[in-house]
Structure 1
């Protein structure tokens, strides 16, 4: 009986130690200066495609409710940040968004619908390439967005 308990204890401890080691090894290390430079260059090379993808996904999101995305004007400046939990890079680009009310969406009578909206478009690097999910941080420029989400993001110089 004692031997079975000892074997179970040793086996359980070994499994826990191996799981901990695997978890530590799987965590992503922060990008080096070389990989940051490469990622920046890749962002600029793919920027036109990324902007088109952002607009496509944002337009299909149904957000904000009752509004349709008409146009997005992207600023030229890009702010790069690092996700504190994963170490992965993010790129934020200031945008000006034009919406129009969706017929029957409840926003037709809102006089502010036609106002241009400032926001930050978010792009992320998965370790290999840049992508986007079409999400915008409304009412914040990239610097403000990084400051606002300082628990999750840190500026990359």
Structure 2
């Protein structure tokens, strides 16, 4: 799959995921440097994949989902990046983000490889959104074609609201 960054064509490692696929397994690192195994995550989940929390679009995206969380009872939202857990913790504190859990893929890149979100040329994660149901099936998948653009917030939030039986 090909995406662009400021117009330059880049390649994602792996096969892209689609609605209807099962969410693959991975291990991420939390702010306390503890492993988070995807097999222990349950319920309806949103995974936001961002290049770095310290960039404008990523910051705005995670803040937007943090605000939306109030209307999504029982939904777990995760922002995944290659930022070190210490940087993620600092960013969350400064941004006032408390409804989105940040997780890092810095250690072994298992999330980036299994979800085809790792940018081959840059070694960063691309911007993507995955909505996953309680049965671990992907209900919505978006790989944003231009990394510097925002995802389709309305489509992602509509997909999760449909899963939890809330009007869009």
Shorter-chain TM-score bucket reads under 0.3
TM-score normalized with structure 1 length: 0.27
TM-score normalized with structure 2 length: 0.26
- Greater helix share, structure number: 1
Q: Which has the higher contact order (CA 8 A, sep 6+)?
A: 2
